[in-house]
Chains A and B, each alone.
Chain A
Amino acid sequence: MISIKNVNKSFGAHHVLTDVSLEVPKSNVVALIGPSGAGKSTLIRTINALEPIDNGEIIVDGISIHDKKTDINKARLNIGFVFQSFNLFPFLTALENVTISPMKVKGLSKEAAEKRGKELLASLGLADKCDAYPSRLSGGQQQRVAIARALAMDPHVMLFDEPTSALDPEMVTEVLDAIRKLAKDGMTMVVVTHEMGFAKEICDEIVFMADGKIVERAAPNKFFTNPDTQRAQDFLSKVLNH
């Protein structure tokens, strides 16, 4: 479903991604973990071309994302993206946030878009928040609206860039529950996260990154109990022992 081949990227002299390759089969959930500055966010942002790459290839759903001949706006319809800082549109209500792109990009009628938007918001426990502006919503509610907004485009793949890092601790669960539900429904997902328990529970594979490289890939149980590399052991001893 997602195929990343030999991707390199630098910001000036700083090599942020070095020869990164990764396959994510359909309906799999992959967690990208690692210390900050490892290139996790950069990597996930290259998958929908929010970040350009220097060389290599990324194929999502059969479409080469960074090919100049690709209509990137069309390709992005298959790829939902959820940001750490939500990035909701502040001048639109929760429902309008969800319906604007189906209407303006896919040409759905207002009725059809609102019907689907209300269903999505309801399925994420936000049925009573349709008419609320983002500034009136808690962080957890805003992030769930952002998830609904991405799902409204019927993507085949969902990308989450630290979806709970900007949230107060008591709101993390509601967002993780929403992602968990998507995993159960068979959505293909890549999640950059620092929630180790969550990664262990729902992911099919853990991808550990450091210094712009993929250092280790393993099944969650193996990774969290007995990682192969010293780098991963160091990282885990820091994040798990407190």
Chain B
Amino acid sequence: MYMYDWSVITRNMDVFIYGALKTLEISAISILLAIPIGIIFGMGRISKNKFFRLISSIYVEIIRGVPLLVLLIWIFFVLGQFLKLGSYWGSIWGLAIFAGAFIAEIVRAGIQGVPKGQMEAARSLGMSHAKAMTHIILPQAFRRVLPPLASQFIMLIKDSSLISIIGATELTLDAKNLVATSFRSIEVWTFVAVVYFIMTFSLSLIIRYFETRLSKSEA
């Protein structure tokens, strides 16, 4: 019968804390890169410029059709031959390019969800298309995309566990190493699951708080 020894968790708490912080760091940098990528290509998907629209569609469709794990390995081994990425930046760009495609779709839906009359009203007041976008459409699209954007961030935290495959230090890789030395896989993986849950759940609580505040200010 298996003898549980949970002291492996307490004895190695510093490893878990370090791993969790790395996971948050990598996820945060990735999402910060993914948001501008997503805004650019999301607007590209509905742009009047055919070339821009085509490029954006190709990007979104390819990334959505390739598993993240494959994308990460491809970036690390193939792109890594030409660019000195390393596992840290290779993972961050991999996650950012992956999440960027999903954010592009969120942004596109957010902009298209703003009623047509808003653009017409802005244009009738003499605003150029760009001014109407900046001052009237995007602020409204932003409010619409906030909830799906938040769940994308939560997904990214979970997806970041995959970068352990290319050797980037974060919670999952630290856990793997700890299991290799302590042979306490049940305890370690149970605790890792709990840590991921704590990170994602507290994040959704924070987001929910901001959403309620935002909807209050508009009412």
Name A's B-contacting residues (CB within 8 A): 48, 50, 73-74, 76-77, 79-81, 83, 85, 87-91, 100-101, 104-106, 133, 135-136, 146, 149-150, 153
Contacts and interface: CB of A to CB of B under 8 A. Distances in A.
A91 B218 contact: yes
A76 B139 CA distance: 23
Name the residue among A83, A101, A133, A149 with the largest chain B CB count within 10 angstroms: A101
A105 B127 CA distance: 6
A121 B65 CA distance: 53
B124 A81 contact: yes
Nearest to B128: A73
A101 B126 contact: yes
B120 interface: yes
Contacts of B140: 89-91
B124 A50 contact: yes
A50 B120 contact: yes
Contacts of B120: 50, 83, 87
B121 interface: yes
Given A135-B218, A135-B219, A89 B118 contact: yes
A91 B128 contact: no
Interface in B125-155: 125-128, 131, 135-136, 139-140, 143
Contact of A50 (B123, B128, B218): B123
B117 A91 contact: no
- Most A C-beta atoms less than 10 A away, residue of B123, B124, B140: B124
A80 B126 CA distance: 9
Contact of A100 (B115, B135, B143, B218): B135
Contacts of B218: 90-91, 133, 135
Contacts of A77: 126
Given A83-B117, A101-B122, 15 more contacts: A50-B120, A50-B124, A73-B126, A76-B125, A79-B124, A80-B124, A83-B120, A83-B121, A89-B122, A91-B143, A104-B131, A104-B135, A105-B125, A136-B219, A150-B125
Nearest to B125: A101
A33 B131 CA distance: 34
A150 B124 CA distance: 8
Given A91-B218, A133-B219, A135-B218, A101 B118 contact: no
Interface residues of B, number: 20
B123 A76 contact: yes
B117 A85 contact: yes
Contacts of B135: 100, 104
Contacts of A104: 127, 131, 135
A101 B127 contact: yes
B117 A87 contact: yes
Contacts of A80: 124
Contacts of A149: 125
B8 to A, nearest CB: 52
Contacts of B219: 133, 135-136
Contact of B121 (A89, A105, A136): A89
A81 B143 CA distance: 27
A157 to B, nearest CB: 12
A222 to B, nearest CB: 33
29 contacts: A50-B120, A50-B123, A73-B123, A76-B123, A76-B124, A76-B125, A81-B121, A81-B124, A83-B117, A83-B120, A83-B121, A87-B117, A87-B120, A87-B121, A89-B136, A90-B218, A91-B140, A91-B143, A100-B135, A100-B136, A101-B125, A104-B127, A105-B131, A106-B126, A133-B218, A149-B125, A150-B124, A153-B125, A153-B126
A85 B124 CA distance: 14
B149 to A, nearest CB: 17
A73 B127 contact: yes
Interface in B13-71: none
